[in-house]
Amino acid sequence: MTAEDHVQQAWDTASHAWVEFVRTGKDYTRDGLNNPATFELIGNVEDLVVLDLACGEGYNTRILAREGAMVTGVDFSESMIDAARAEEETEPLGIHYHILDATALNGLTDNYFDLVTCFMSLQDIEDFGNAISEVSRILTPGGRFIFSIPHPCFEKIRLDGKKIDAAQRYFETAKYVIQWNMERLLKPFRTVTFHRPLTDYFEALHRSHLYVSRLVEPRLTEKAYEKYPYLQEALRKPQSIIVESVKSASRSTRTQ
């Protein structure tokens, strides 16, 4: 396995260019498509206790805090968390950040969070099943887990050196490198991610007593299309999928 195959190392290396990409409005898919749909699904967060899982440099974590939630952000990339903490110093929002692997949320209390969000990251988490199990542990009974991922039916993946439609090999789990090389980037970078069939995500939720309550396939509005013509494809087919699930109200988790 090369260094580029290592998820955490790749994100640490990418963090500087990623921060610039996200904070300067160059992440059109986030601003034009995913965030409007995800925050609509999330709804009012005032006074909710929220964990933003795999929060990166904290862009969406800050939105949640500005909307009145009490927010904790975790990510396993030290440089991402450094960037998030630096922003918290500049604009204090009361966010607590921790460097934590999503699969071992050590120190986070059982049955504590009203909402766990995971924006466009679950596809990057190698052991996503254990991450979902941890989410279930820390959620309060009746609490929600909302995550977004690239739509596995429509994404493009890189296999055997070629970019192909994932649908061609839909049932395979594929670990592959994304090359971020759009002209608008400060500098190109690479990250490591996974294609998995939707069944894998839904089975993992089911095993952890998280029951799917809503599903959104964000559509580009005409207004957003005027601002982000680059996202044109999303007028016809979804680029991402957003899932809301609820922890069974009768499940109170207790760590042995």
Helix (H) or strand (E) holding 89: helix 78-90
Q: Which residues pair with 103 in a beta bridge?
A: none
Among 215, 207, 223, CA closest to 153: 215
- Of 11 and 154, the one with the shorter C-beta distance to ligand SAM is 11
Q: Which residues pair with 51 in a beta bridge?
A: 72, 116
Two tokens at 16? Answer: 């500087």
Q: Which residues bind ligand SAM (CB under 6 A)?
A: 7, 11, 22, 54-56, 59-60, 75-77, 80, 101-103, 119-121, 124-125
- Of 142 and 188, the one with the shorter C-beta distance to ligand SAM is 188
For 89-173, list the strands marked E by DSSP. Answer: 96-99, 113-118, 139-150, 156-159, 162-165
- Of 64 and 210, the one with the shorter C-beta distance to ligand SAM is 64
Helix (H) or strand (E) holding 65: helix 59-66
**Which residue's beta carbon is nearest to the bound ligand SAM?**
56
Three-class secondary structure of residue 80 per DSSP: helix
Phi-psi group of 119: left, alpha or beta (phi > 0 → left; psi -120 to 50 → alpha; rest → beta) = beta
CB of 222 to ligand SAM, least distance (A): 25
- Of 33 and 55, the one with the shorter C-beta distance to ligand SAM is 55
Tell me the pairing of strands 210-216 and 189-195.
unpaired
In the chain, the amino acid numbered 28 is Y
Q: State the Cα torsion 198-177-189-60 to the nearest 10°.
A: 20
CB of 147 to ligand SAM, least distance (A): 10
- Of 84 and 160, the one with the shorter C-beta distance to ligand SAM is 84
DSSP secondary-structure letter at 242?
Answer: E
- Of 186 and 249, the one with the shorter C-beta distance to ligand SAM is 186
- Of 6 and 251, the one with the shorter C-beta distance to ligand SAM is 6
CB of 250 to ligand SAM, least distance (A): 29
Angle at alpha carbon of residue 161, lines to 172 and 80, rounded to 5°: 80
Q: How far apart are CA 115 and CA 101, in angstroms?
A: 18
CB of 122 to ligand SAM, least distance (A): 9
CB of 68 to ligand SAM, least distance (A): 20
